Amino acid sequence: MRKILVAPSLLSCDLASVATEVASVESGGADLLHFDVMDGVFVPNLTFGPVLCRAVRRITRLPLDVHLMVADPTPLLQPFVTAGADRISVHVEATPHLHRVLDAIRNLGARPGVAINPLTPTVAVEQAWPFVDFILVMTVDPGFGGQRFIPEMLSKLAVLRQTRDGRWPAVELAVDGGVDAEVAPALIDNGADVLIAGTSVFAAADRAAAIRALKGESPR
């Protein structure tokens, strides 16, 4: 059985109390911390950069999973690795030079991933498998937390899962967008290893219970 990892997304936390928020999910059983970087160009929203990443790095031991929703990821790679990023994903829609970018992330010492938008066909990442540690399957169009999960993404995930199980068993499949305890079992059934969740974790008063619920563990 594959281990299911939960990555709470800081986008949905109370940023005025970021240290408390991070501590609550770290002690609540989170496996990674998801860090959404938006540039106002690739997506219609603007969020955080390496400065906040560095600050968060100092307050947690959790691996930092940086999701670059930016039109030009290249100039941000070194700054984010220096700021403590452990994993960095870039969008297949954003860069025509995906191999170069993934290679740069690995050479900088971080784990590279490719992110794919809901209506981008899986064939777009078909050549990327040998160069990634994970594929981040968007289950909403990126840009905002709190959007509704797109149910058609389950069959897309299943297609990627078949390739993963058959040829690239070490590559993780992450899902991002509208992930809650209701849809988590179907995501896990269809091959998800990493559940990225903003609202369903940070809107819950009991973060440990929310994380357990996502993993399908019984409440304590």
Q: At closest approach, how far in Å is the CB of 117 from Zn ion?
A: 12
Tokens 């409440």 locate to 219
Query: Which CB atom, from 130 or from 146, has the smaller least distance to ligand DX5?
Result: 146
Which chain residues interact with Zn ion by CB under 5 A?
36, 67, 176
Partner that binds at residue 21, options Zn ion, ligand DX5, none, CB closer than 5 to 8 Å by kind: none
Q: Which residue is nearest to ligand DX5 (CB)?
A: 198
Query: Which CB atom, from 89 or from 190, has the smaller least distance to Zn ion?
Result: 89
Integer-rounded Cα Rg, in Å, for the chain is 16
DSSP state of 171: -
Q: Kindly tell me the sign of the dihedral angle through the C-alpha atoms of 64, 133, 154, 181.
A: negative
Tokens of 78: 């070194």
Report d(CA 140, CA 147) in Å as an integer. 7
Partner that binds at residue 101, options Zn ion, ligand DX5, none, CB closer than 5 to 8 Å by kind: none
Which chain residues interact with ligand DX5 by CB under 6 A?
9, 11-12, 34, 36, 67, 140, 142-147, 176-179, 196-200
Of the residues 31, 65, 176, 193, only one is catalytic, namely 176
Active site residue 36: yes
Q: At closest approach, how far in Å is the CB of 139 from ligand DX5?
A: 8
| Helix, strand, coil distribution of the chain in percent, nearest 5 | 40, 20, 40
CB 80 within 8 A of CB 67: no
Query: Which CB atom, from 31 or from 176, has the smaller least distance to ligand DX5?
Result: 176
Query: Which CB atom, from 190 or from 199, has the smaller least distance to ligand DX5?
Result: 199
Of the residues 36, 39, 65, 193, only one is catalytic, namely 36
Partner that binds at residue 50, options Zn ion, ligand DX5, none, CB closer than 5 to 8 Å by kind: none
Query: Which CB atom, from 92 or from 196, has the smaller least distance to ligand DX5?
Result: 196
DSSP state of 131: G
Report d(CA 188, CA 195) in Å as an integer. 9
Partner that binds at residue 204, options ligand DX5, Zn ion, none, CB closer than 5 to 8 Å by kind: none
Q: Which residues contact 124 (CB under 8 A, 6 or more apart)?
A: 92, 93, 116
Q: At closest approach, how far in Å is the CB of 133 from Zn ion?
A: 16
Q: Kindly tell me the sign of the dihedral angle through the C-alpha atoms of 146, 147, 148, 154.
A: negative
Active site residue 72: no
Catalytic positions, written as ranges:
36, 176
